[in-house]
Structure 1
Amino acid sequence: MTRHIRYAAAFCALLLAALLVNAARIQVIQAGAYDDNPANRRQDIARYGQPRGDILVGGRPVTRSEDTGESLRYERTYTHGPLYAPVTGFSSQRYGTTFLEHAADGALSGTDPMLSPFTLWNDLARARNPGGDVVTTLNAAAQQAAFTGLGNRKGAVAAIEPATGRILALVSTPSYDPGALSGNGPAVTRSWLGLNEDPDKPMLNRAVRQTYPPGSTFKVVTAAAALDAGVIKDLDQRTDSPDPYTLPGTRTTLRNATHGCAHASLRLAFEKSCNTVFAKLGVDVGVTDMAATAHAFGFNDTRLRIPYSVAPSTFDTSVDKAQLALSSIGQYNTRATPLQMAMVSAAVANGGQLREPYLVERITTNRGATVSTARARPPRQAMNPSTARHMRELMRNVVEDGTGTHAVIPGATVGGKTGTAQHGVDNSGTPYAWFVSWAQGDHDLEPKVAVAVVVEDASAHRREITGGGVAAPIARAVMEAVLRS
């Protein structure tokens, strides 16, 4: 009898060991596969089972979490959703996350280990920290000024603090309310389909994810390259620039939208935005030095994050001389985001040094304790300091005596450059109106803001002055908002 009991006990022990081994296999070895299984809703229930951290502008949250009482308990809501959509992005139970909601998801959802001093205990207990908060660099007044200025037009605004790289405004229009995508009901699906089918592309972040031909605003880069290369030594020296200018190796002639450009000095050509002078300058500088200067300003950089990715702005390096001439006036294959052109203006304002732009000032716990701050990055030397001084002088002339007079701000020094970018088949599309600028208050020790504005559907009848008439007033409003604050 005792022998049978021993056999039964051994068999039971074997079964118990098999159960333990199987449980370990499921919970340890195959845990990842079960966690990632679409049929497993536990992660989603846990993810939305507590409030998400907030995104802050000027110390105030522009996001909230609403308790729905459902299995996926908390849904995201947005304060002034269309105003901040290019910054926050959306957090959707059905369609995932974008922009800051995505880049800072670990902190906002509470899964980032830096939010907890007891990371090992949280792993063992499967506990989740309260979501942390993301404090942005945005200036609320500048953001509102940019949004109001663009109004119902398609376009974008980017504003940067030159000395630090802090992004002060990032606006794209038309916009949308990210809260319409937050839940998982039929209304969310309808909103998603409607937004994606809208021909105006309201979910496109034109400030950082759309590139445009920069037109005459790129002449800031060309002028800096010419000064750095020694092609131009005196701003008032006559240039060898015929009007019209025959593109090298072709019979195609390039003309100007204004008179008095033939052999004009750099100062006069910049003020009048003479295409012939800058096309010829680009050829004289050469593709190697033009490409090096463009790269120093940030063109062809595929690694820029703010912290979410930015579409790379491009300057084609495999061009012949005729193509180089067009590239040097912001046409052909030259493309730039509004953020990139704000970086160009910021480098001029900052004495030739370019600070990498960033959008997140710090990350805090839900109790306000800082756990992470913006990492300081060394500046990039975009041009010689002496060149930057000349460029500031040229940009001031545009605002004081040229096509940028709509950007004048009493009590401040303002520099700018207008631009009208042709596009479409045979340049048949409505030109894009550009304006890039910087401003320094009379009592400030350094420029406080650099701005780039692009308007897609501006009136084309004023040609080169379109940027000054349409985009410059928007830039002025943004600069005034920063200087007042």
Structure 2
Amino acid sequence: MIRYIRHAAAFCLLLLVALLANAARVQLFEADELNANPANRRTTIDRYDQPRGNILVGDEPVTGSKDTGEQLAYERTYRHGPLYAPVTGYASQTYGTTLLENAEDAILSGTDPILAPLPLWGDITRSRQPGGDVVTTVDEAMQRAAYEGLDGRRGAVAALDPSTGRVLALVSSPSYDPEVLSGTGSAVTDAWTRLNRSASRPMLNRAIRQTYPPGSAFKIVTAAAALDARVVTDPDAETDTPSPYVLPGTSTTLPNEARGCEKASLAEAIRVSCNTVMAHLGVEVGLDGMLEAVGRFGFNDDDLTIPSRVARSNFDTDMSDDQLALSSIGQFDTTATPLQMAMVAAAVANGGDLRRPHLVDRVTTGDGDTVRRPGSESYHQAMEPGTAQQLQRMMVDVVESGTGANAAIDGVTVGGKTGTAQHGVDNSGTPYAWFISWAQAPDSGRPAVAVAVVVEDASADRADISGGGNAAPIARAVMEAALEN
């Protein structure tokens, strides 16, 4: 009998060892796979069982969380949702996350190891911390000035601090309230359907995810390329540009909206926006030279993030000379986000040193202790300092005596460049009105802000002045808000 008991005991011990081995296999080696299994509802329930960390503008949260009492307990709420939607994005129990809610999800949800009190704490305990907070670089007054300036029209505004790269305003219009997507149920799916079917595309972030032909605003980039390449050594000297100008290798004549462009100097071509001069200079710089120049400003960068992903601004890498001529005045296949064009203005204002744009000032624990601060860093030396000084003077002339008069601010140094991008068959579509600018207070040693504005549905003729008429007043309002800080 004792022998049988021993056998039974040994068998039970074997079963116990097998059970422990299987538990270790599941908990240590298969845990990640099981957690990622879509059929595992517990992961989703756990995600929403505590409040989400907040996104802040200044010292004020523009997000929150509410306890619904449902199985997925906490839903996201938004203060001034349409105003800050291009910054925050949405955090939806049905549709996931976008923009900052996505880029900083680990912090906001409390799963980022940086929030843990000790290294590997979360891996050992399988726990997560209270959600951390993300403090943005956005200035409330500037954001509101841009939003109210667009007044529901299709368009966008991006504003940067040229000296640091801080994103001071990021507005897309028309906008939407991300809170309508926060939870679950028919109300959320109906809102999703309505927003996606809207002809105005309110969920499209036009400031960083939509690219437009930049039109004459791009001439600042071509001017920088021409000066750096020594194609132009004296901005005030006549160029050898004929008028009419026939695109190389074609019989097509490139028109000017402005007068007096024949052999106009670079400075005059920027002031009144001569297509012929700038197209001719782009061809003289050459494709390789233009590609090198546009790359320093951020064009053709597939990896730019702020930390939300920014759409690539394009300048074709393989073109004939006639296509290069058109590309050099912001036409053909040249496209740019409003953020990219704000970077162009910022590079000029900051002496050629283009700072990397960033939207997050710091990341904190739920108790307010800073755990990460990205800081300012150089992105590229976009142009030589001497070139930047010459372009500063030319952009000031645009505002003081050229097409950008509507951006002028009494007692303040303002530089700008208008642009109207034509599109559609035979340019039949309504032009996009652009204005890029920067402002510096008289008692300051550095520029306060660089701004880019695009208005899609500008009711304007196809003259370059429409950028000054539709977009420049919005830029002025944003600059004034920056100068009041």
Q: Does 1:370 align with 2:370?
A: yes
SS in 1 for 2:147: helix
My pick for the range that moved more, 24-33 or 93-102, is: 24-33
CA shift for structure 1 position 314: 1.0
Q: Give runs of aligned pairs for residues 255-270 of structure 1, distance below 5 A.
A: 255-270=255-270
CA shift for structure 1 position 399: 0.2
CA distance in structure 2 between the partners assigned to 1:269 and 1:51 by the alignment: 56
CA distance in structure 2 between the partners assigned to 1:417 and 1:328 by the alignment: 15
CA shift for structure 1 position 462: 5.5
**Which ranges in structure 1 are unaligned for 5 or more consecutive residues?**
none
CA distance in structure 1 between the partners assigned to 2:101 and 2:159 by the alignment: 21
CA distance in structure 2 between the partners assigned to 1:317 and 1:402 by the alignment: 32
Q: Deviations over 1:329-375 (max 9, x none)?
A: 00001110000000000000000110010000100011110000014
**Other-structure match for 2:275:** 275
Q: Give runs of aligned pairs for residues 80-479 of structure 1, distance below 5 A.
A: 80-461=80-461, 463-479=463-479
User: Given that residues 279 and 325 in structure 2 are in contact (C-alpha distance below 8 angstroms), is that contact kept between their aligned partners in structure 1?
Assistant: yes
The residue type paired with residue 166 of structure 2 is R
> Normalised by the size of structure 2, how large is the TM-score?
0.98
My pick for the range that moved more, 306-315 or 122-131, is: 122-131
My pick for the range that moved more, 427-436 or 256-265, is: 256-265
CA shift for structure 1 position 325: 0.6
Q: Deviations over 1:313-333 (max 9, x none)?
A: 111121111111101100001
User: Given that residues 392 and 415 in structure 2 are in contact (C-alpha distance below 8 angstroms), is that contact kept between their aligned partners in structure 1?
Assistant: yes
Q: Alignment RMSD, CA only?
A: 1.1
Say if 1:366 and 1:251 are closer, same or farther in 2 by CA, change over 3 A: same
User: Given that residues 113 and 120 in structure 2 are in contact (C-alpha distance below 8 angstroms), is that contact kept between their aligned partners in structure 1?
Assistant: no
Aligned residues: 485
CA distance in structure 1 between the partners assigned to 2:33 and 2:59 by the alignment: 41
**Identical counterparts, % of pairs:** 64
Q: Does 1:3 align with 2:3?
A: yes
CA shift for structure 1 position 122: 3.6
**Other-structure match for 2:32:** 32
Q: Give runs of aligned pairs for residues 20-59 of structure 1, distance below 5 A.
A: 20-59=20-59
The residue type paired with residue 124 of structure 1 is I
My pick for the range that moved more, 225-234 or 349-358, is: 225-234
SS in 1 for 2:290: helix
The residue type paired with residue 46 of structure 2 is A
CA distance in structure 2 between the partners assigned to 1:221 and 1:60 by the alignment: 38
Q: Deviations over 1:393-442 (max 9, x none)?
A: 00000000011000001121000000000111222111100000000011
SS in 2 for 1:439: strand
SS in 2 for 1:463: coil
User: Given that residues 239 and 264 in structure 2 are in contact (C-alpha distance below 8 angstroms), is that contact kept between their aligned partners in structure 1?
Assistant: yes
> Normalised by the size of structure 1, how large is the TM-score?
0.98
The residue type paired with residue 26 of structure 2 is I
CA shift for structure 1 position 242: 1.5
User: Given that residues 438 and 479 in structure 2 are in contact (C-alpha distance below 8 angstroms), is that contact kept between their aligned partners in structure 1?
Assistant: yes
**Which ranges in structure 2 are unaligned for 5 or more consecutive residues?**
none
Q: Deviations over 1:223-261 (max 9, x none)?
A: 111111111121221111122110011000011112211
CA shift for structure 1 position 200: 1.2
CA distance in structure 1 between the partners assigned to 2:416 and 2:472 by the alignment: 8
CA distance in structure 2 between the partners assigned to 1:475 and 1:302 by the alignment: 27
CA distance in structure 1 between the partners assigned to 2:357 and 2:157 by the alignment: 14
Q: Deviations over 1:175-215 (max 9, x none)?
A: 11110110011111111111111121111111011111000
CA shift for structure 1 position 100: 0.4
